[in-house]
Each structure stands twice: as structure tokens, then as C-alpha cells.
Chain A
Amino acid sequence: AQTVTQSQPEMSVQEAETVTLSCTYDTSESDYYLFWYKQPPSRQMILVIRQEAYKQQNATENRFSVNFQKAAKSFSLKISDSQLGDAAMYFCAYRRGSAGNMLTFGGGTRLMVKP
């Protein structure tokens, strides 16, 4: 079974600074996707970024980027120029190759942004 581990229950960052959230996963599959979701106080899950395992290039979305280390099964999220609106729970998630397969979530990291 696949497992996703987020070792940082809480992180804090100063506004405008950079923070990195860690995620490791365990799988025997070769075809899979990795995701970072943001859950603000509204509880609405928002997709932040996605990485296909077959792609060597790290995904980026504006201020958000990932460091995907396939051999190490590591998938960290870097948030640059942190903003107050980035404060939220962040969940790392794994999904096998077929889109119909379920998401497996990590335990989450609460990010606090200090003004």
C-alpha cells in the first residue's frame, strides 16, 4: 500500500521569505502523480501543484515549485515570497497512474505566515 508522510506538523515563515514543506512517499509503482493541496480555513481543498512521476523536470506554478527526487521518493514544496494568504494546511498527496484511482494524503503541515 502507498503511504505519504509529512514530517512537519507545523511550519512558520516570515512574510516575503521562502519556506519548504517536506513530503516523502512509499510506492512500488512506476506510473504515478504527486500533488500538493492547500486547505485554508474555509476548508476548500485547492490544488497548488502537480508532478507526473515520468517527468524529470520539477513542476512550478508562479511562487510555488517542487523538488521531486524520484529515487529518494521525496516531493517537497517550496513557497517563495510568502504571503499572508498562504497561511493554511498543506497536504501532499499521491495517486497511481489512472485518473480513476484514489488520492492518498499525508498528515498535513500547518503553515503560519508572520507579518
Chain B
Amino acid sequence: GAVVSQHPSWVICKSGTSVKIECRSLDFQATTMFWYRQFPKQSLMLMATSNEGSKATYEQGVEKDKFLINHASLTLSTLTVTSAHPEDSSFYICSARVASGGGNEQFFGPGTRLTVL
């Protein structure tokens, strides 16, 4: 149980285009999802916290208009990178917290590698 999926696993796009990444909790409901970015050989940096039915909370330095987060249901959160540029190329990871009865665990998706040409 407690599986989180991400789609796509790898995406290449042209500079200036927008890319949407989906994060789904497959067998549990997630009131809270987290989006992280990981550059090569570096740690995970939290970008934003996404709560179902409300606006996401962004970390300092993360552009809200560039990284649009929507958490429309208890099983789906999306991250849209708008007007992507080469410096946005990174590995994006989501995690989901069980809504109830699941203890204190967060479960991670397998990540999405974004390459912007």
C-alpha cells in the first residue's frame, strides 16, 4: 500500500513551453502533498506544500506564477512549469501524506526528470 505515482517520468520540452507533472496517490487519500526539486548531486529542496481544496504554500524564492500547483482532489496534485527555461531543468519529486489512519508517514513518488532545451 501507500503508493505514489508521477507522470511523466521524463519529459523534454522546448524553452518557452509549459509542462504539467502529475502526482497521484494510488491507494490512499492525501490531504497534503509536497513538491521538491533536486538538482544533480544535491539534496531535495521543498518548493511548495499543496493542500487539497486550497492554495499551495510556496517556499521563499519559489515563483508562484512560474510553478503552478493545483491539488484538486484527495488523490491528485499537479505541478505546471510555465514558460520553462533551461535553468528549470531538474528532477521534480512529490510526496503525499496519508489523510487519516496512516500515521505520520509521507510517501514519495518516483520523480520526474525535466529537461528544457
Chain A positions near chain B (C-beta within 8 angstroms): 33, 42-47, 91, 95, 99-100, 102-108
| Complex: A9 Cα to B44 Cα, angstroms | 15
Cβ–Cβ contact A102 & B105, under 8 A: no
Contact A44 B111 (CB under 8 A): yes
Q: Which residues of A contact B103 (CB under 8 A)?
A: 99
CB distance from A31 to the nearest CB of B (A): 11
Main secondary structure of the interface of B (DSSP, over half): strand
Known: A43-B111, A99-B103. A108 touches B49 (CB 8 A): no
Min CB gap A77→B, angstroms: 16
Pair B34/A102 contact, Cβ less than 8 Å: yes
Chain A residues positioned under 8 Å from B111 (CB to CB): 43-44
Task: Evaluate contact between A105 and B49: CB separation under 8 angstroms.
Answer: no
Question: How far does the alpha carbon of A47 sit from the alpha carbon of B4 in the complex, in Å?
Answer: 14
The 0/1 profile, CB within 8 Å of A marked 1, for residues 32-60 of chain B is: 10100010001111100100000000000
- Minimum CB–CB distance from B6 to chain A (whole Å) comes to 10
Interface SS, A side: loop
User: Of B32, B42, B45, B105, which one neighbours A47 at CB under 8 angstroms?
Assistant: B105
Within the complex, the shortest CB–CB distance from B56 to chain A, in Å, comes to: 12
Q: Are B110 and A102 in contact (CB under 8 A)?
A: no
Complex-state Cα separation, A43 to B92, whole angstroms: 10
Whole-angstrom CA separation of A60 from B1 in the bound complex: 22
B108 with A45: CB separation less than 8 A? yes
Chain B residues, Cβ within 8 Å of A91: 43-44
Residue from the list A43, A95, A102, A108 in contact with B43, Cβ < 8 A: A108
Partner of B93 from A33, A45, A104 at Cβ < 8 Å: A45
Query: Which of A44, A100, A105 touches B44 (beta carbons < 8 Å)?
Result: A105
* Contact in complex: A102, B44 (CB < 8 Å): no
